[in-house]
Structures are given as C-alpha cells and as structure tokens.
Chains A and B, each alone.
Chain A
C-alpha cells in the first residue's frame, strides 16, 4: 500500500525512471519576471537533452517550486524537493536570500545546488555543495576600481540610495578604491529630488561620478539631475543602470553613461532566437534566461559524466563548459570562473558593449 503511494521511493533505481532535478526561484511576487525567464531557459536545456534521448536512456524531469524570493519559502520548497520528490540536484535559489536559506538544507542532505543568478558575496562561503554560474558582487567593485585606476580617475564621487544592495555596493567599492571617495552621500530610497545634493558637486573637483541606486526610478533621476547641474564628468554605474527602462527614462542625460555588468545576451544570438521561438519575449531580460540555460547545461553535463562518483564532484570538475555567457568552470568555493564583466556605454539611446574588463 505504501509502495503504491510513493512509487519513486520503493522502486529500485531502474534505467527507465526519469531523472528529477529541482528548480527553486521566484515564480510569484515582485521578482517573478526573472524567475520565469530563468525557468524557461532551464526548460530549453532540458528539452534539448530529452529530444536527443535524455541521459543513459532516461528522460530529465524538472520539478519547479516557487521560492517567492524569500528565504522561508525557498527553505520549505527545498525540503519538499529533497525529501518528497527525491531530486538529484536543485537549480536555485535565484534570489540570494533563497540560495542562502536553502544552502544548509542542501548541504545536510548532500544534494548539490547550482544558482543561476545569486550574486551576494555570502554565497561564496555557503558550503561544499553550493555552486553558482553568476559572479559574486564582490568581484564587480574590484573590476570597477581597476577600471578607474586605468583611466586615472582617483577622485570618485558617489551618490547611493539607502538600501541593502546599494549600500553594500558602496561599502565594497570604498574598500577597493585606494583613495576612497571624495564625495559620498546616501539618500532616502524613496527620494526623487537629488538636485541640491548634486549642486554641491558643482564646486568640487572630481573625476568620475557613480550613480548608485537599488531601483530604476531613482537611478534615472540621479543620471538626469546630475547632467541638469551642468556637470560634464563621466558617469559609471552597475546592473541597475544596465536596463532599457533607466536609459529610456533618463533620456539624453544617459548618453555616454557607462555600466559595468555581466555580458548582455542579445535577442539576435542563437540562444536568443531559440528562446523567442519557444517562450516569446523574455519578461525581465534575455540574460536571466541565458544564465538559467547555462546552469542547467552544466548540471546535465555533470550528470552525464558522473559515472559512479558523487554528482557534486562531477559539477566541481566542470572545465570550461561552453556556456552562452562564457566558458564556465568553478573555483574551490563553487564560484564561477570564466564569466567576465563587460564595460558598456550608452550610444544613441542604446547600450553598446565596449570591451570585457579583466579581473
């Protein structure tokens, strides 16, 4: 009777059972758009594998759970995937809060997890079974500081919103800059009027301005109101500024704005075309789907290569997997090696990738 209820647990691992892999990511709530894009990217990788006969004659099955971008939901999702569905690995979480919450659970159960987009520096130390294909935020400020040094910009002005992401970025960048900041103001995260704070910059001697907001709307206004003061210094920002929303809202002021972020995946690439044919336009951005696709392929390749050894070791042994976002390997902490940062610049109202920035 019990066997009839839970088939998977009772049958010996036969060669025809599908291989189950779990997914945890935000499928409802504020971050749902990116979670759906990632899941669609994963789906493409799995469908490709299944179309060519699966792995050792077994089909791959995704069991998707909603992590809602919160630790609590992700943790119960992980318990379910590991204890009820008996997945071999989990692709997730996606929000850093999800990943950090499920890490100890996966670690205890010995189930490896690969996150597509978690960027929080704490994920580095999250455990032996925790991998990610997205670079840690800690690297981004290192890259930015190096870029400033190469350009000879040592007087750096920064305006940050008072939110976890932007304050974390500011603190990390401050630590990486030999001379620190010469102008360092933190504004309320709901503020829309930065004119007077920026007016103070008109009397200062500085080389580069870093608009550092956690959200689109203040970011666009920082860019716009900075230029409105007649200031002509270059502006360099990060992920938040690297969206069409921001440059559309900031208009002419965004011209020449530079951003340092992971590579853009254009819609006219092979992967982009594949995605649009199968799932239509991405909801949050094509690169989310690309990172999901790469995370899934890294996992599938490891399952193919694992033989009788543990899956975790096969993932760790990943060697320059030819991903959409770059050649993927892992360091001893499970952090990705090989995904670089690009320097992008707004030219005629659209971002153009100038070059990759070395670490």
Chain B
C-alpha cells in the first residue's frame, strides 16, 4: 500500500510534465527540450512569491503559473516558431540552447541551495500506509487537471479542432480555424502544466538548479511508451513508470533479494525498451497513424 502511494506521488509529478509534453511533442510534433527548465521556473517563482515576498499561497501559485506560461510563450516565439516549419528537428537544437541559458539564469537568480515550500498539515494513515494531507491533495488535483485536459482534447469539439490543426494546418485554416493561434495555445498549455509540476516539486520535494534535464527525459519516456499523440497514454504511462520504479526497489523479490536502489531508473527504462520492441507504436498508439 505504501508502495502504491509512493508511486502515485512520484507518478503525479511525472504525469504533469508528461501531459504537457504530450501536447507539444505528441500532438504538435515539436520538440521542447527546455521543458524541465520551465518546470523549475514555475516552482522557483512560486517559492519566491510565497517564501520571500510573503504573498498568499494561491496568489503565489497563480504567479508561478503565469511566469511559467510567459517563459513558454517566449520560448515558442523566439526559439520554436521561426524554426519548426523549416524542419521539425531544428527546435531540438534551439531549445537545448535555451535550456542552458535558463539553467544559468536560475542559478544566478535563485542560487545553488535547495528551496522548498512546506504547507504543514498532518499525516494520514490509510490501510497501514502513511501519506501527508499535502501529498493527497497534490495527487487528487493532478489527476483532476490531467483528466479534464485529456478529455477535452480527445472527446470534445475543441479537441477535435486542435487535432485537426495538427494534421493539416493549411486545410483547417481554409475552414476558418486560426491554426497559428492554436499552436501557440497548445505550447503555452504545456508550459502551464510544467509549471504546476514545478510547484508540486517545491511542495513535495525541493528545487535545485540541476534537476531539469532528468525531468525532461522521464517525460519523453512516458510519451514514447504511451504512444505518440495520445495524451491519455502519456498520463497512464507516467504513472505506470513511477509505480514500476517504486516496485523495483520496494519489493522483496522472490523473498530473496532487493534490487539495489541505484538501478531504480535504469531498470524502469529497460522495461520500456523491451516493451517497445514488442509493441513499437506504444501502449495506446495505433499502427497506421503518423503525425
């Protein structure tokens, strides 16, 4: 039970970032390797507003999300939009450059020491396992947020329009759908989700300037395993990978040995690779489609 809860905590964090990335990479087909840094921007700005400026918690969260959205918008206008129509791989280079710039800026502005937001609140005991009120809240809010997003995209008229834009931007523009604006909207949505991930990180763990890239990599793993273009798939797989990671080190395998904790990430990624050999289109991807 504790294992399951630990997995849900880690999975919620991963799913927030993966859900955002699924919009950009999965739906739009564009790479954004600076997404991990945007996670940090959202987290650090919230920490700064709440911990240093003394703003109310809700206002601080709003500020963090706005800052994350703003940085994502700038990312789109300066580092993605001028390039991705020429070749869809060009933003890999430009966003890596941006990630380095943001890493440096975060280090200069916020320093090297770990920053965290602590809300207090008690510990609950559920079926012999322990979870704090804050963690439970984070898990529920994440699941709600992501469900609304995935439902909108896959099961409503707006979602259909967005997916149409991606499939054929010129054709939908002739139907009066503003393709460019929708691209931008998708991109900013991913930044907002990433910022939420950063706030989650600040509340549950802590923020340091160096952890951005590993966040990005985990999100890509979830998307690839989930099937490109499927937001539900990315979310489910982010949770699945997190649970797998916890199970690998937490279970006393065959009552004889524990997998050393250093292998936690490696084994989980190895399982994904094996899974993809068997099912290359991912868990929810369909065989014929390609974006």
Contact = CB atoms under 8 A, between A and B. Distances in A.
Contacts of A188: 261-262, 264-265
Contacts of B10: 193, 195
Contact of B261 (A185, A220, A221, A245): A185
Interface stretch (A81-89, A136-144, A168-176, A196-204): A196-204
Contact of B264 (A159, A187, A216): A187
B260 A192 contact: no
A282 B140 CA distance: 44
Given A200-B250, A216-B208, A249-B115, 16 more contacts: A159-B261, A190-B211, A190-B214, A193-B205, A195-B246, A196-B3, A196-B6, A197-B249, A202-B2, A215-B208, A217-B208, A221-B205, A228-B130, A228-B132, A230-B123, A249-B114
A109 interface: no
Contacts of B208: 215-217
B3 A199 contact: yes
A229 interface: yes
A251 B211 CA distance: 21
Contacts of A249: 113-116, 206
B138 to A, nearest CB: 13
B118 interface: yes
Interface string B208-233: 10110010000000000000000000
A251 B119 CA distance: 11
Contact of A245 (B2, B114, B260, B264): B114
B258 interface: yes
A88 B250 CA distance: 58
Interface in B104-126: 112-116, 118, 123
A156 to B, nearest CB: 17
Interface residues of B, number: 32
16 contacts: A186-B261, A188-B261, A188-B262, A190-B210, A194-B261, A196-B7, A197-B250, A200-B250, A216-B113, A216-B208, A220-B206, A221-B206, A228-B130, A246-B114, A249-B116, A251-B116
Interface in B185-214: 201, 205-206, 208, 210-211, 214
A191 B261 CA distance: 10
Interface of A: 30, 159, 162, 185-188, 190-197, 199-200, 202, 215-217, 220-221, 228-230, 245-246, 249, 251
Nearest to B13: A193
Contacts of A200: 249-250, 258
A143 B179 CA distance: 68
B282 to A, nearest CB: 25
A220 B206 CA distance: 9
Given A195-B6, A195-B9, A186 B114 contact: no
A187 B260 CA distance: 8
- Nearest 10 Cβ contacts at the A-B interface: A217-B114, A196-B250, A245-B113, A217-B208, A185-B261, A196-B246, A195-B6, A249-B114, A192-B205, A187-B261
Central interface residue in A190, A192, A200, by most chain B CB within 10 Å: A192
Contacts of A193: 6, 9-10, 205
Contacts of A216: 112-114, 208
A185 B249 CA distance: 10
A251 B206 contact: no
Interface in B234-291: 245-246, 249-250, 258, 260-262, 264-265
A190 B206 CA distance: 12
Contacts of A251: 116, 118
Nearest to B116: A249
A229 B260 contact: no
B262 A186 contact: yes
Nearest to B210: A190
A221 B118 CA distance: 13
B261 A199 contact: no
B206 A217 contact: yes
